[in-house]
Amino acid sequence: MLRELIVALAIVALPGCVIQTTGTLPRTGGTLPARSGDETLPGLAGSGRWLELNPGVSYEAVAMRPSGQGWLVGKAQGAGGKAVIRHTVDGGLSWTMQDRGRLDLLAVAALGDASAVAVGRGGVVFRTEDGGARWTLQDAGTDQDLVDVAFADMSRGYALATDGTLLATTDGGRTWSERMRTGARGMKVLRDGSALLHDDQRLMHWGPHGLAQLARVNGLVSLHEVNDEGLELWALASGGRMLHSTDGGLTWDPVTSLATQDRWLRQPTALAMAFGAERRGIMLTRFGILTTLDGGRTWIEGDARLTSGWQPWLQLLEDGSALAGADGRTLWRLRP
């Protein structure tokens, strides 16, 4: 409710305006906490070696539930081949083939342990509610390529087309309706059923009051929700820059240092970030892993390095394991 009130005020008070990033946040947290001697947070992966997982196919997108159930999707295999769909029940250690359709699949969302929606070229939408034993073709009402899909819960979700058109569903992906052309290139669906949309510079909010322009963030790459109300957010931008918001994305502060248990990390460079339940989070940097139990106020350094020139997909599972991947061929898993 508080989030919708803030966005509504932004629409009324600032029609047609963009709220700029304000202030400078020299660090997250106040004073350094007392050192406990622990090297990693209990129950979260941070040290050790990444286990390489090979799903056996190239993929375009991965969606994983906290339980370790999930799917990956990809392009059709060769002339006349079916589009890639693979299912896992053990956090990516093994995969089952569920290939469907002739058009490339570009994105997938896991609604529950047994339910998923996959989207792709030509507006194709496939839906399953039995763990992938059966995939049903749905009519999205568009022939535009669908490049992203995400859900707030088992019913409410959005799909994004290449031209920035936003599609919405309220019945778990059975039916879809076009909302508006936003120009967005990426999105983050929040738990309250609204969506944050972004291109390389603009951040927008879609909700009951329509589309609202929020902050201007240059080089925005990804958004990460910390709490259930969607008010506390982290953002990753080009060059590994990080930003933090406590007002639902209306304003952002650059993060120039992070507090660990015994030092400040100056000018941190993030490759990827993910948050799970109870404000637990994990960050992949060029030098190792950082983990948090308080939404990013303080961090603990780990020595598990996974470095490359790309910014990977990262997810935290409920057992504390971390999954990463971005090259379209390999996945990695780090256990606590």
CA–CA dist 283, 271 (Å, integer): 8
pLDDT on residue 77? 78
SS3 294: coil
Q: What is the mean pLDDT of residues 106-130?
A: 96
Length of the chain: 336
Exposed, middle or buried: residue 336 (CB in 10 Å: 0-12, 13-18, 19+)? middle
288-322: string of b/e by CB count within 10 Å (b at 16+)? bbbbbbbbbebbbbbebebeeeebbbbbbbeebbb
CA–CA dist 115, 107 (Å, integer): 14
pLDDT digits (tens, 9 = 90+) for 252-271: 999 999 999 888 998 888 88
pLDDT on residue 43? 52
pLDDT digits (tens, 9 = 90+) for 127-173: 999 999 999 999 999 999 999 999 999 999 999 999 999 999 999 99
pLDDT on residue 12? 34
The answer to whether the beta carbons of residues 27 and 256 sit under 8 Å apart is yes
Percent of the chain with pLDDT over 90: 52
Asked whether residue 47 carries a pLDDT value surpassing 70, the answer given is no
Sequence-separated (6 or more) residues with CB below 8 Å from residue 79 = none
Percent of the chain with pLDDT over 70: 83
Predicted confidence band of residue 114 (pLDDT cuts 50, 70, 90): very high
Asked whether residue 336 carries a pLDDT value surpassing 80, the answer given is no
What are the structural domains of the chain? 1-58+219-336 (no CATH), 65-73+82-181 (2.40.10)
Asked whether residue 45 carries a pLDDT value surpassing 80, the answer given is no
pLDDT on residue 216? 86
Asked whether residue 14 carries a pLDDT value surpassing 70, the answer given is no
Predicted confidence band of residue 17 (pLDDT cuts 50, 70, 90): very low
User: What integer best gives the mean pLDDT of the chain?
Assistant: 83
Asked whether residue 6 carries a pLDDT value surpassing 50, the answer given is no
Predicted confidence band of residue 106 (pLDDT cuts 50, 70, 90): very high
Predicted confidence band of residue 281 (pLDDT cuts 50, 70, 90): very high
CA–CA dist 125, 174 (Å, integer): 9
pLDDT on residue 310? 58
Angle, alpha carbons 269-274-276 (nearest 5°): 150
Predicted confidence band of residue 49 (pLDDT cuts 50, 70, 90): confident
Predicted confidence band of residue 325 (pLDDT cuts 50, 70, 90): confident
